[in-house]
Amino acid sequence: MVEVRNSLLAQGLIDAAEVIGIATRLATTDPTVTSSPLVLVVTQQFNPSHVAFLQAMVASAPTTVIIAATTRDPEASVADHVDRLAGSERTTRDRPEANDSSGVVPTVVSCPDHDEEVREVTRRVVALLEAGVVADRIAVFYPPAGPHRAAIAASLGAAGVAARGQVTPPLHGSVAGQVLRALLALVSGGLDRRTLVEISRVAPFGHDVDSAGMV
C-alpha cells in the first residue's frame, strides 16, 4: 500500500487521506485560514483518519456546537468520538432548549371557503410586507393536492406580490401530460384505436368521441 500511495503521489495524484492531511496542516499552520463558528453533526462513528482534521477545526473555531446522535448500543455509540473532539472543556445538554418564540403569537383563522382562505393569505402577506418584513422571510404552506397553488399565485400576482415556488401543476396531472403519455403509447404499442380516441378526447380543443368513434 505504501508503494502504491508513493507512486500516486509521484504522479501528482492525491488520495483522500492526503487531502485530509493537507487540510489539517492548513487549518493549524496557515495564518490566512480563518474560521467561523462551527456546528458539527455526529450521526455515526467517523473515520479515524479524520480525527486530526476535525480537532483542528474545533480548536480554531471561536465557538463549536457538536450535535450527536444517541443510542443504547455501545458499539454504535459516538460518545468516544465526541470526547476526542471536544475534550474536557465543554458543556453538555442532553435535550436542547427550545428557541425563545415569545415574540411570535400563533394565530388561527377560520375561513368559510377556499376563496376566502386565499384572500386571507394575500391580505396577511401584504400586511407583513407593508410592516417591513423582508419578502424572503415570508412563506406560505399549502397541501400539494388541490387548487391552492394556482389560486394563491394568482391572488398574490393581482396584489402585485411576486411569488416564488412551484405554481404550475406537475406534467403527469395536466392535459399535456395525458396527451404525451397517449402519444408515447402509440409509438410503443402501435396505432391502437382506443388510444387515438383518448387523444381526441383529452387534447386541447379536441372533441368528445363516443364509444363508436363518432364525433
How do residues 174-184 score in pLDDT, each as one tens digit? 667 777 777 77
The residues, any chain, with a CB within 8 Å of residue 203's CB and separated by 6 or more, are 175, 179
Same domain (yes/no): 12, 75: yes
pTM: 0.36
Distance CA 199, CA 215 (A): 13
Residue 126 has a pLDDT of: 92
Same domain (yes/no): 79, 123: no
Same domain (yes/no): 82, 6: yes
Average pLDDT over residues 127-136: 88
Beta-strand relationship, 64-68 and 38-42: parallel
Q: Three-state SS for 60?
A: helix
Residue 213 has a pLDDT of: 46
Distance CA 145, CA 131 (A): 31
What share of the chain has pLDDT > 90, as a percent?
6
Grid cell digits, residue 51: 480525527
What letter does residue 95 receive in the DSSP assignment? S
In a domain, 56, yes or no: yes
Average pLDDT over residues 75-92: 69
Structural domain range at position 45: 2-86
CA angle 90/59/94 to nearest 5° reads: 25
In a domain, 108, yes or no: no
Element (H or E) spanning 68, and its range?
A: strand 64-68
CA angle 179/182/185 to nearest 5° reads: 155
How many domains would you assign to the chain? 2
In a domain, 63, yes or no: yes
123 pLDDT tier (thresholds 50, 70, 90):
very high
Q: What is the pLDDT of residues 14-71, one digit of tens each?
A: 667 777 888 888 878 877 777 778 887 777 777 777 888 888 888 888 888 877 766 6
In a domain, 154, yes or no: yes
Grid cell digits, residue 196: 387515438
Residue 215 has a pLDDT of: 45
Among the three residues 86, 106, 132, which one is the final residue of a domain in this structure? 86
In a domain, 149, yes or no: yes
What are the DSSP calls for 106-157, one per residue? ------SSHHHHHHHHHHHHHHHHHTT--GGG------SSSSHHHHHHHHHH
CA angle 102/107/111 to nearest 5° reads: 175
Element (H or E) spanning 201, and its range?
A: helix 193-202
In a domain, 97, yes or no: no
In a domain, 100, yes or no: no
Q: Three-state SS for 52?
A: helix
Residue 122 has a pLDDT of: 93
Q: What is the pLDDT of residues 153-169, one digit of tens each?
A: 889 988 988 877 655 55
In a domain, 176, yes or no: no
